[in-house]
């Protein structure tokens, strides 16, 4: 069973290939992903590495947490499941509405 690791404080210059190479000595790297900003296309400074077994993942955490990678001291830990997103993409009720009409609210027509 593959085990996903969070890799934080990653240099903006780190590539997915570089991340894969850094974790390869500890076992089979299933995936290595750098999270990119959609708007700028630039790295967000963190990523995920998926190791093929629990034992390999634990060895990678112990060996790589706090180590230098591309000039930055990285943080490596077991990845947590993502939080469920709230809402359905709508703006919901933000109150207010159109006041329209003539004059103030109290005026008669």
Q: Give the model confidence (pLDDT) of 80-90 as tens digits.
A: 988 898 866 55
> What are the pLDDT digits (tens) for 48-82?
999 999 999 999 999 999 999 999 999 999 999 88
Domain ranges in the chain are: 3-78
Q: Where are the alpha helices (DSSP H) in 1-109?
A: 16-23, 54-64
CA gap 109, 32 in Å, rounded: 68
User: What is the percent of the chain where pLDDT is above 70?
Assistant: 79
Structure-token match 């290939």, residue found: 17
- Whole-structure pTM over 0.95, yes or no? no
Handedness of CA 97, 102, 103, 107 (dihedral sign): negative
- What lies within 8 Å, CB to CB, of 94 at 6+ separation is none
Look up the CATH number of domain 3-78: 3.30.70.330
Phi, psi of 5 (to 5 degrees): -115, 145
């Amino acid at each position: 069973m593959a085990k996903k690791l969070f890799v934080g404080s990653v240099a903006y210059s780190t590539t997915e290939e570089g991340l894969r190479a850094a974790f390869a000595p500890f076992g089979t790297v299933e995936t290595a992903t750098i999270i990119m900003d959609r708007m700028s296309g630039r790295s967000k400074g963190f990523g995920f590495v998926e190791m093929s077994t629990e034992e390999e993942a634990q060895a990678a955490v112990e060996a790589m947490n706090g180590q230098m990678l591309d000039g930055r001291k990285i943080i490596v830990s077991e990845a947590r499941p993502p939080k469920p997103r709230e809402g359905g993409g709508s703006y919901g009720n933000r109150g207010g509405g159109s006041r329209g009409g003539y004059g103030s609210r109290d005026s008669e027509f």
